[in-house]
Amino acid sequence: MVSHGRARFVNNSGVDEIVIGVTEFECMGASSPHDHPHIYLDMGRDAQIRCPYCGTLFRNDPSLGTSEARPQDCIVAS
């Protein structure tokens, strides 16, 4: 699937929350073959959003760059 320039995240370690530096992104769940449908999420004016498939809470931290996250291993390299 093409990411259209948006950040992509996976939750292979099963953490409850991923802190990210963007408000629009793609959630993949875990890496293939354990992924869920890859969906685009947009926080809008909110500071957080929960993925409806895997339940991961994504929280925005504007001090992080577009290629940063906590935990860092949740970012999918382009």
Segments making up each domain of the chain, as ranges: 7-74
HSE toward the beta carbon, residue 10, CA cutoff 13 A: 14
**What percentage of the chain reaches a pLDDT higher than 70?**
94
Mean pLDDT of the residues in the chain: 93
CATH code: domain 7-74 is 2.60.260.40
pLDDT band at 2 (very low <50, low <70, confident <90, very high): very low
Q: What is the Cα–Cα distance from 36 to 67, expressed in whole angstroms? A: 22
Residue 3: pLDDT above 60? no
Amino acid at 53: Y
pTM: 0.91
